[in-house]
């Protein structure tokens, strides 16, 4: 009897640990029509399918693999970017992000 209970508990724990993960593009939460939160999802890159109309992006507490001049260039309407405690190659991302927006408008 105790052996059966042990196996049931063990199988229950195994099933709990087997989560189905969503693709990166569907993990970010749409806060409003033009605001997206990708906070603390362990993401290594900006999701490709974020709408170009995105104005506010919270990418805090993630692990960027790299940051390039073109990283945010497709987000033409971006006015606020939160990179709080975002790491890039083990280092905190700190402003200014000169060239990362690839346009003349300042992003806060």
Quote the domain boundaries for residue 35: 21-108
Does 8 fall in a domain?
no
CA-to-CA separations, 58 to 75, 80, 92, in angstroms, rounded: 13, 8, 15
Rounded to an integer, the average pLDDT of 86-95 is 66
Residue 63: strand pairing partners: 87
Does 3 fall in a domain?
no
Does 14 fall in a domain?
no
pLDDT for the residue 39: 93
Does 13 fall in a domain?
no
pTM of the predicted protein model = 0.61
Question: What is the CATH number for 47?
Answer: 3.80.10.10
Instruction: Please state the domain count of the chain.
Output: 1
Distance separating alpha carbons of residues 97 and 73, to the nearest angstrom: 12
Q: Which residue has the higher pLDDT, 45 or 67?
A: 45
| DSSP 8-state symbol, 1 | -
Name the band, by pLDDT with cuts 50, 70 and 90, for residue 56: very high
Does 5 fall in a domain?
no
Q: Is there a cis peptide before residue 96, judged by omega within 30 degrees of 0?
A: yes
Does 90 fall in a domain?
yes
């Amino acid at each position: 009897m105790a052996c059966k209970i042990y196996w049931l508990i063990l199988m229950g724990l195994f099933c709990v640990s087997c989560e189905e993960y969503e693709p990166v593009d569907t993990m970010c939460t749409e806060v409003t029509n033009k605001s997206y939160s990708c906070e603390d999802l362990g993401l290594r890159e900006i999701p490709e399918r974020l709408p170009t109309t995105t104005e506010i992006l919270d990418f805090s507490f993630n692990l960027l693999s790299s940051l390039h001049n073109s990283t945010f260039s497709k987000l033409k309407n971006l006015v606020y970017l939160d990179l709080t405690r975002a790491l890039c190659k083990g280092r905190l991302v700190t402003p200014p992000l000169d060239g990362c927006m690839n346009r003349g408008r300042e992003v806060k």
